[in-house]
Structure 1
Amino acid sequence: MNSILNKNLFFVKEHVGMFKAANNYDIYDPNSQEMMMTCREENLGFFTKMLRFTDYKRMTPFNIEIKTATGEKVLTVKRGVAFFVSKVEVFDENDQLVGTFKQKFFSIGGKFNLFDANDNMLCMLKGKWTSWDFRFIKDEVEFAHVSKKWAGIGKELFTTADNYMLEVDQRVPENSPIRIMILAAVMCIDMVLKE
């Protein structure tokens, strides 16, 4: 696992574009304001690009790579065509399966269950449908929190793009596979739940 995932704060900034089919983000260290990672969807097929501009956008497959600012692969997130619910696979920098997350069928605001490679539940991503506020929890313990609001910025980020802060709890051990799963799930909230 890349040591960059041992940080606890990540500011995710979406690339703004009028006619963009691909989902592209930059991930910054909010303290130094330096870009740490890029999240790119580079290999989009023609039909997928076309469907991204229709009501079927949430059903389209994706294959996203997150890399360090110097180009080292950190993780890959993949999903095939999704008809009712999403099952997303997460791979480490060596293309080894780390785990999956599955969307809950009838959930208000959106929910994912995160599983390790052996299908053991790690935690749940639970969101509020009225706001951009998501928490990674298990047994009432919060592992991480994602929001468009953050005390360090002090105000909501008013743009057309989705920019947000991921805060991983300090109790989550360094080099734990759950860190890979949390970052991967954050990148998919927008594509699966919020579009």
Structure 2
Amino acid sequence: MSDLFSSPLLWVEQPTRVPVARSRYKVLNGAGAVVAKASEQGVSLKRAAARAVFGDADRRLVEVRGPNGEALLVIEAYSERNAFVSWPNGARIGSFEAAKRKRYRSRAILDHAGNQVGLIDDNNGLGRRYDVLDAHGTVAAYIDKKWTGVLKEMATTADRYRVEIHRPLPDPLRVLVPVAAIVLDMLFFESKDWPIS
């Protein structure tokens, strides 16, 4: 299985770009080696222009590929709502959905059948530091959204995340937690599109 699903430390980075361009991510392990790349599919020049004018960024579909180009996962996210993670053949692995009685950016982690298997808890309410809890409420990982500077934070989508996984996780958390930073970014930080109207 890919190093993406076995590395205890991952860095998720985005290239500096304007918000209307397609979503792209690079995932590195703790040694700095690229273990996965992800990019949004189906974004034509016309759609990018529509995003710039109308702020149309509700649905994003990102393919996650290994360092040699092999398909690993597909992530489908709906801005500020839910995200679904599937294998390349379309079989659902799980989803990230609004967590009841939790902060706005917190998300329940569900398996393919809709059973809650974990929680991403926005523990300070600022969308910078997240605890990832397993089904028993034990912290299994941390996700930190790193500060990239005022200009990059406000004018681009060049975000950077540190994902620290404390122990080997059972399925489906083993697959969902490593891509949780990409999911959070797609849900809450990719919609920096600026409607001109």
- d(CA) in 2 for partners of 1:7, 1:105: 30
Structure 1 unaligned segments of length 5 or more: list them: 150-155
Identity score, percent: 16
Q: Does residue 140 in structure 1 map to residue 140 in structure 2? A: no
- d(CA) in 1 for partners of 2:88, 2:166: 23
1:190 to 158, 177, 185: 185
Partner of 2:48: 49
In the superposition, relative to structure 1, how do residues 70 and 111 fare at CA in structure 2: closer, same or farther (>3 Å)? same
Structure 2 unaligned segments of length 5 or more: list them: 153-157, 192-197
Deviation at 1:56, TM superposition (A): 4.1
Q: Does residue 169 in structure 1 map to residue 166 in structure 2? A: yes
- d(CA) in 2 for partners of 1:24, 1:187: 9
Q: SS in structure 1 opposite 2:52?
A: coil
TM-score (norm 2): 0.78
8 A Cα contact 1:99 1:115, kept in partner: yes
8 A Cα contact 1:26 1:37, kept in partner: yes
Deviation at 1:190, TM superposition (A): 1.6
Residue pairs, 1:1-195, within 5 angstroms: 2=2, 4-18=4-18, 20-31=20-31, 33-45=32-44, 48-53=47-52, 56=55, 60-79=58-77, 86-104=81-99, 107-127=102-122, 128-130=124-126, 132-138=128-134, 139-148=136-145, 157-158=148-149, 160=152, 161-173=158-170, 176-194=171-189, 195=191
How far does the alpha carbon of each residue in 1:143-171 deviate from its partner, in whole angstroms, 9 at most, with x for none?
2111135xxxxxx5547221111111214
Which structure has more RCO (C-alpha within 8 Å, separation ≥ 6)? 2
TM-score (norm 1): 0.79
Q: SS in structure 1 opposite 2:83?
A: strand
Q: SS in structure 2 opposite 1:53?
A: helix
8 A Cα contact 1:125 1:136, kept in partner: yes
8 A Cα contact 2:118 2:137, kept in partner: no
8 A Cα contact 1:75 1:92, kept in partner: yes
Deviation at 1:7, TM superposition (A): 1.4
Matched positions, count: 182
